[in-house]
Each structure stands twice: as structure tokens, then as C-alpha cells.
Chains A and B, each alone.
Chain A
Amino acid sequence: MKRAYLDNAATTPILPEVVEAMLPYLRDAYGNPQSLHQWGDEARETIEEARGQVAALIGAQTEEIIFTASGSEANNFAIKGLAQAQQSKGKHIVISAIEHFSVLHSARTLEKWGFEVTEVPVGRHGLVDADEVAKRIREDTILVSIMHANGEVGTIEPIAEIAKATKKTGTLLHTDAVAAAGTIPVDVKELGVDALSLAANQFYGPNGVGALWLKKGTRIIPFVDGGVQEGGRRAGTENVPAIVGMGKAAELAQHDMSSRMTRLSRLRDRLIQGLSSTIDHTILTGHPTQRLPGNASFCIQFIEGEAMLMLLSSKGVAASSGSACTSRALKSSHVLAAMGIPPEIAQGSLLFSFGLENTEGEVDYVLEVLPPIVDRLRQMSPLYAKFLKQQRGGR
């Protein structure tokens, strides 16, 4: 059976070069980077090289990178650590309504700790308006966190503009760049941010490793106590193979960025065009142009996402959905809700996210198998039956 992995937003496959770079550190080079002998020295030098590679990807200085175990950890670290370090100045933070749960729920935790959180709404394309952010910055606002790009709907946010607003008031700005870094050009100086999160599994590196970039001189409360690793801010013996993998993946991403972007956007546009012309009552979610190169996200009306995913999976196609039924908590995506998409339409959420291994043939395969799946589910749907009756002018 044909197979097509179109769920790169969840995690990208790991590149063979990355695996090669990691292997020695899973085998013979097992030293603890903190040890004072040759084994330790080798491991230490290796992670410092990786640190440099990750820094180069985002235009940062090597010593500003703190390795973490994931993008989610980097977000938790940034939100909680920066807020706590600043709390003598105020206890108010501003985030957008479409942040990843690792930001959103960290903010909820801060609320329990006595902080106040304001959410900035987004427009129907998922865009955060810099003026709307500026309006919500108060005397006691100590931190603003707005994501760089939304992995679910693909919208890329105007971070540099938002940074102008936070600069004026001297408020710290963090951006969750997990979906953006390694995929589109990200430069911390051009963005003008103070902290930025990224994760290796979004750019063909291994799972289980991420990083927080923190502008030199920015105070943060350590995330894990008990050791000197990562400048004493995140203790624990370093995951050397994973860090090496992230470094290699960052180097390749930087080198191949523009050719990758061209490739992915071609696949994305082919699918968006094909799908919009073959399946009616389909909505493209997210911004039409200001979007991630590999993201094609839709709402297919009158049917539900999990049922689509199961039928797609029976055809060998992997995708994802933000429908209530697909979520563990049985709540539909807060991102789609924040964009003003009604719950019954959000139920039809379907996301295809492209990666380097995908081909035009796979896009065409989706365009061949999806329409009958949609048809079949619509034939079963009471909502569709009602819609047809209404159209016929009946009741």
C-alpha cells in the first residue's frame, strides 16, 4: 500500500546525516561533559560545537543557548523563569489566544502563583495585531509572549512589529519559535526579542531536545536546580547524542533553508489548490499568504476530523486534526476557536504538514483518496442532509 507521512508538524523524520552525527555519542563517546578527563573533555567540546550550530541558525551568540529536553520545556522555562525573575517589577503578563499549551498552561500556573495574565485576541486568519498587544501592556507588565508561527494553522506572526511595542515600554518579549525555527529564517536580532524557544524535532533533528535562547544579561530563575550544567540554569547530565543531533540538524537547516522552503511551499500550494477545487464547502484555515511553507490546514464542513483521519490512515495517509473528538480532553482546538471558527466547523479540522521526504506524487495521492472519504462521511452526516434540504428550499 502507498504511504504518505503528512504530519510533520507533530514531528519531522530524522535525517540520515543527523543520525550519523549522533551515533558515536550513543556508542563509544559516552563521557559526561562535566568530568575532568579526556572522555569529559570530548563530550564538552562536542556540545559546545552543537551550541554554536544552534546559535548560528538564529543569529545568536553561542553562550546564549540553553539546551532543554523539548520545545515545551523551553516554553515552560521562559514563561515561569522570566516572570519569576521579574516579579518585583510587576506581576502581569500578556500572551496571545493561540499559544501552544506549553505557553498557555504555564501562564495558567503563573495565575495560580498570583500573576495576572491577559490574552490578546487574534483575527480570523490567526494574526496577532501589534497594536492590540501594545494596548494591553501596562505599568506592571513584565513579560509578553507571542508565538512566531502557529503550527496548527500555519500563520506567521509579526514578531518584529510586536517587539517595537515592547521595546518602548522596556517589557521582555519571548517568542515560541518551535514551529518556525529551522523552517523559515529566524534571526533574534532582526526580531528584536529577548527570549526564543526552539525544538530539534521540527527541523529533522531528534525528539527530546530543544533550546531556549536568552539574550545576554537577561535574568531568569533556573529551571532545574542541582548542577552547573547550562550555566547553572538547567541542571542534569547533558543528553549528548541528542544535543549533537540538534546541532547537526540546525547546521543543515541553515544551509538548505531557501531550497527547502521552495520545495515545501510548492507541495503545500499544490494541495491547497487541488483540495479547494475538488471538495466544496472547504475552508483554508490560517493566513492565505503569511503562512509556514509546509502547512496546509483546512476545515471540511459537515464531517468530523477523527473519522477522516481513520479513513485516511486506512489509505496509508498520516495527517492530524484539531477536532474535539480527536483531542484527549474532547475539546476542539482553542486556536480555531480564537479565530472565530464555530465549533461545528472546527470539528472538520484537517491538517496536512509537509516535510522534506514528501513528493508531488503524494499530494496527488491525497487528492485522489480524500474526496471519496469526504463524500462517504457526508452521506452519513445529518448536518449535510439538513444543509442539502435547506438548499432545496425544503425544511
Chain B
Amino acid sequence: MPVYSEKVMEHFMNPHNVGEIENADGIGEVGNPVCGDMMTFYIKVDDNRLSDVKFQTFGCGAAIAVSSIVSEMAKGKTLEEARKITPALVAEELEGLPKNKYHCSNLGAQALNKAIDDYLKKLGKEAKTRRRKKDEGA
């Protein structure tokens, strides 16, 4: 087994924010091209802020710890702030990751970003339909 930092072990043994958000505002699912694993992030957005973040992960110990810490880091942040969570920051927050586990930290940041993309896309669509309805009504 790789040698993990205490912080990784902590988040692996007791991961925060595990699960699925019913009627999530955004969902981001990514597969890890390196080892074939998977991560899904669910977000709830209120006033441009991430009011809730949850995840599901199929992967190694590092991947689970990464998901947990990313969800913690993202909660309460504005979308713009959340976009700034990079794999490097995630690794730092976890007090380091073994070299061959860096790719697992990419996965976390990617999944969160994808969830935000998904939210914005839906928002765009909603805005469009609202506009269309208005146009039709006029």
C-alpha cells in the first residue's frame, strides 16, 4: 500500500459529504483514464454559492480522500472561487500525495468543475427558455 499522509488517512477513514444530492443543480462525472476509476460530484447552488456538495467515488484510498477534501474545500465558495481549486491545491491540503497518486487529485478537481459546467449549462438553457416564453408571450 502506498504511504499516505495522516490527513489522507483521516479523510479516507471518515470521508465527508458522501452521497448523492436529489435534484442536484449540477452533476459532474469523470472517469480516470489512468486506472479506470470514477468520480461523480453533485452540487447545489444558492446565490452563486455552493450551498451543498456531495460525491460518489469508485477508486483507491487517495481518490476517496481527494473527493472528501474537495467537497469540503468547495462548500460555501462562490462558483468562481470553486473553479480555483486545482489538483496542486488539493494535494497540498491533503499534506501531500504519493507520486503515482497525483492523477487521483486531478479527478476531484475535474469532477467538481464539470458539475459547475453542468449547472451553468442548465442555467443557460433555463434562461433561454424563459426568454423564449417571454418572447412568445409578447
Report A's interface with B, CB cutoff 8 A: 302-304, 306-307, 309-310, 313-314, 323-326, 328, 330, 332, 343-344, 347, 379-385
Which chain A residue lies CB-closest to B40? A382
Which single member of A307, A326, A347 contacts B36 (CB below 8 Å)?
Answer: A347
Report B31-58 CB contacts with A as 1/0, cut-off 8 Å.
0001111111000000000000000111
Instruction: Name which of A310, A326, A381 has the most chain B CB atoms within 10 A of its CB.
Output: A310
Contacts of A306 in B (CB 8 A): 1, 60-61
Complex A-B: 8 CB contacts under 8 Å: A303-B58, A304-B37, A310-B61, A326-B60, A344-B58, A347-B58, A379-B19, A382-B58
How many Å lie between the Cα of A298 and that of B68 in the bound state? 28
Which chain B residue lies CB-closest to A328? B100
Contacts of B39 in A (CB 8 A): 382
Report B's interface with A, CB cutoff 8 A: 1, 12-13, 15, 18-20, 29, 34-40, 56-61, 63-64, 100, 103
Contacts of A381 in B (CB 8 A): 56-58
Beta-carbon contact of A380 and B57 below 8 Å: yes
Beta-carbon contact of B18 and A330 below 8 Å: no
Query: Within the complex, what minimum Cβ distance (angstroms) separates A185 from chain B?
Result: 35
Which single member of A314, A324, A326 contacts B13 (CB below 8 Å)?
Answer: A314
Instruction: Check A313/B58 contact, CB under 8 A, given A330-B34, A379-B18, A383-B38.
Output: no
How many Å lie between the Cα of A384 and that of B20 in the bound state? 12
Contacts of A380 in B (CB 8 A): 15, 18, 56-58, 64
Contacts of A326 in B (CB 8 A): 1, 60
Beta-carbon contact of B12 and A385 below 8 Å: no
**What is the predominant secondary structure among interface residues of chain B facing chain A?**
mixed
How many Å lie between the Cα of A325 and that of B12 in the bound state? 15
Instruction: Name which of A325, A326, A381 has the most chain B CB atoms within 10 A of its CB.
Output: A325
Which single member of B1, B40, B60, B103 contacts A304 (CB below 8 Å)?
Answer: B60
> What 15 new A-B contacts, CB under 8 Å, besides A303-B58, A325-B37?
A304-B37, A304-B59, A306-B60, A307-B61, A310-B1, A313-B1, A324-B36, A330-B100, A347-B35, A347-B58, A380-B15, A382-B38, A382-B57, A382-B58, A383-B38
Query: Within the complex, what minimum Cβ distance (angstroms) separates A14 from chain B?
Result: 23
How many Å lie between the Cα of A304 and that of B34 in the bound state? 14
Contacts of A332 in B (CB 8 A): 35-36
Contacts of A330 in B (CB 8 A): 34-35, 100, 103
How many Å lie between the Cα of A330 and that of B39 in the bound state? 17
Instruction: Check A302/B35 contact, CB under 8 A, given A310-B12, A330-B100.
Output: no
Instruction: Check A385/B36 contact, CB under 8 A, given A304-B59, A306-B60, A380-B15.
Output: no
Which single member of A304, A310, A328, A385 contacts B56 (CB below 8 Å)?
Answer: A385
- Top 6 nearest A-B pairs (CB, nearest first) are A325-B60, A382-B56, A324-B35, A306-B60, A382-B40, A381-B58
How many Å lie between the Cα of A343 and that of B35 in the bound state? 9
Beta-carbon contact of B35 and A325 below 8 Å: yes
Beta-carbon contact of B58 and A383 below 8 Å: yes
How many Å lie between the Cα of A126 and that of B63 in the bound state? 31
Query: Within the complex, what minimum Cβ distance (angstroms) separates B131 from chain A?
Result: 29
How many Å lie between the Cα of A328 and that of B34 in the bound state? 12
Which chain A residue lies CB-closest to B4? A310
How many Å lie between the Cα of A127 and that of B57 in the bound state? 34
Which chain A residue lies CB-closest to B15? A380
